[in-house]
Amino acid sequence: MHTQANEPQARQHLDLEYQLDQGIGYKAHIGMVVLDCDQTLSYEARAMLTLPGVALYESRIDSGDRGKQPLTADLLREVFNGLDLGIAQINSRRPSDVVALGCTSAAMVIGTGELERRVRNVHPNAAVTDPFKAILAALATLGSSKVGYISPYPDEVAGKMVKQIEDAGYPVPVQATFHRGSFVKEDAPYVSPESIASGVSRLVGIADVDTVVISCTQMRAASVIDDLERRTGKAIITSNQALCWHALRLAGYTDPVGGWGRLFMKS
């Protein structure tokens, strides 16, 4: 006996048992807030934090038309205006162990204490880091004593950051700036890693430093850290590297990770 083509067939249904584990982030849940104009941090963070047991979730916050305005300290104070919503949108299922905030210069201007307060309004138990806080932590961990500083910032912003680094106990005998008229802010994501490496080589050739800080989350410096440390003998700290390293350590992930300089080998 043949079944008619349009006659519904009986469908079997199975109830499946399952077990629960801790999910992707069984070692660390890291939330990251990135400015919508940042073209580098997300890429480099995923390269550095693609580790077993580490979950990285990010949100982006609207920089409005600030990305087209000259970079000043006053402008930087407005960068994290959308922070509360950005933090809430990182992951609605599970609060982050650590919230990492992108933008080195804005974090420096606003201040770590204020940023921590704002994060904990949303996630009271999260540890908090930002690139500038992470750079200072990296300098301490590496035992740095004389620092060379490179950035794409205008003098007002770079000068404030260098002063805060020195106030924290790390003399900066040489400072270098990527410079091309008034467009360097827009150019920052496009400065080649080779240009960054060349700038570091020039800097260490004229000054006695043991560490070089490459500031700005837009700078594509991660790929040249290892080679620069081998060639120059200096420790290299970048905004994105320091932020990712510090987030891992605050989350309790202490394993050394190769490929991203001396800092990632430190617990």
Residues 6 or more apart whose CB falls under 8 angstroms from that of 108 comprise 76, 132, 160, 161, 164
- CA–centroid distance for 179 within its chain: 23
pLDDT at 199: 97
pLDDT-derived band at 247 (thresholds 50, 70, 90) equals: very high
Residues 97, 169, single domain; the answer is: no
Residue 256 lies in a domain: yes
- Residues 110-143: pLDDT tens digits? 889 989 988 998 899 999 999 999 999 999 999 9
pLDDT at 27: 96
Q: How many helices (H) and strands (E) does the chain have?
A: 11, 8
- Residues 154-186: pLDDT tens digits? 888 999 999 999 999 999 999 999 987 654 667
- Residues 195-208: pLDDT tens digits? 999 999 999 999 99
CATH number of residue 257's parent domain? 3.40.50.12500
Residue 6 lies in a domain: no
Residues 119, 174, single domain; the answer is: no
Residue 1 lies in a domain: no
Position of tokens 């410096």?
221
Residue 172 lies in a domain: yes
Q: Looking at the 3D structure of the chain, how many domains does it have?
A: 2
pLDDT at 14 over 80: yes
- Residues 69-84: pLDDT tens digits? 555 555 566 677 778 8
Q: What average pLDDT score do residues 230-240 get?
A: 98
Distances, alpha carbon 126 to alpha carbons 102, 173, 209, in Å: 16, 36, 35
Residues 47, 166, single domain; the answer is: no
Residues 246, 127, single domain; the answer is: yes
Q: How many CA atoms lie within 13 A of 7 on its CB side?
A: 4
CATH number of residue 184's parent domain? 3.40.50.1860
pTM as predicted: 0.91
Indicate if the alpha-carbon torsion angle 184, 186, 187, 188 is positive or negative. positive
Residues 35, 127, single domain; the answer is: yes
pLDDT at 83: 84
Distances, alpha carbon 25 to alpha carbons 47, 55, 91, 95, 100, in Å: 16, 4, 12, 11, 16
pLDDT at 70: 55
Give the range of the structural domain holding residue 34, as residue numbers without chain letter: 28-131+242-265
Residue 10 lies in a domain: no
Residues 170, 248, single domain; the answer is: no
Residue 4 lies in a domain: no
Residues 127, 33, single domain; the answer is: yes
Residues 121, 66, single domain; the answer is: yes
Residues 217, 234, single domain; the answer is: yes
- SS3 call for 211: strand
Residue 145 lies in a domain: yes
Q: Among 174, 195, 193, which Cα is nearest to 240's?
A: 193
pLDDT at 248 over 70: yes
Residue 185 lies in a domain: yes
Residues 6 or more apart whose CB falls under 8 angstroms from that of 127 comprise 97, 98, 99, 250, 251
Residues 122, 138, single domain; the answer is: no
Q: What average pLDDT score do residues 44-49 get?
A: 98
